[in-house]
């Protein structure tokens, strides 16, 4: 059984493009080893990330991500066991400041999901 987790968070300090690139480089390398795939969106000082993979790998990774000081106020949007990956081809795909009017319906709904959580409501 696979695990799929979707969370949002708020960026602690603005991340430079180089800092994001390094984060992604390390994340993709580690995720490839543990068979984790997904998507990371960075927009308006927020992140939304989807993590999919073997249960133990995703749980261990999310525990590390929760402790990461580069972001805070993590909010678990969805957490499920699943037989199939929803996004098998996303090797931690990355979208920086995506256009909310994009024609990509999946991306559009994720941006909406991310932005509909008011900052003052984030636990």
Ligand X SMILES: Cc1cc2nc3c(=O)[nH]c(=O)nc-3n(C[C@H](O)[C@H](O)[C@H](O)COP(=O)(O)O)c2cc1C
Residues that bind ligand X (CB under 6 A): 23, 27, 30-31, 40, 47, 49, 61, 64-65, 68, 70-71, 92
The 10 Å Cβ neighbour count of residue 111 is: 23
| Min CB(90)–ligand X separation in Å | 11
Contact call for residues 39 and 95 (beta carbons, < 8 A)? yes
Which of 90, 107 has the CB closer to ligand X? 90
Give the H/E segment covering residue 89: none
Residue closer to ligand X, measured from CB, 65 or 114: 65
Question: How crowded is residue 121: how many other Cβ atoms within 10 Å of its Cβ?
Answer: 9
CA distance linking residue 119 with residue 115, whole number of Å: 9
Residue 107: CB minimum distance to ligand X, A: 17
Cβ nearer to ligand X, comparing 4 with 31: 31
**Least distance from ligand X to the Cβ atom of residue 56, Å:** 14
């Amino acid at each position: 059984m696979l695990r799929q987790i979707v969370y949002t968070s708020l960026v602690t300090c603005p991340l430079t493009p180089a800092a994001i690139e390094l984060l992604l480089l390390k994340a993709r390398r580690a995720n490839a080893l543990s068979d984790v795939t997904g998507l990371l969106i960075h927009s308006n000082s927020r992140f939304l990330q989807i993590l999919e993979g073997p249960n133990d790998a995703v749980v261990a990774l999310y525990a590390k991500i929760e402790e990461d000081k580069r972001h805070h106020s993590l909010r678990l949007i969805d957490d499920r066991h699943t037989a199939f990956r929803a996004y098998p081809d996303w090797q931690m795909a990355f979208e920086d400041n995506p256009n909310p009017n994009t024609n990509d319906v999946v991306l559009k709904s994720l941006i909406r999901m991310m932005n509909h959580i008011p900052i003052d409501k984030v636990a």
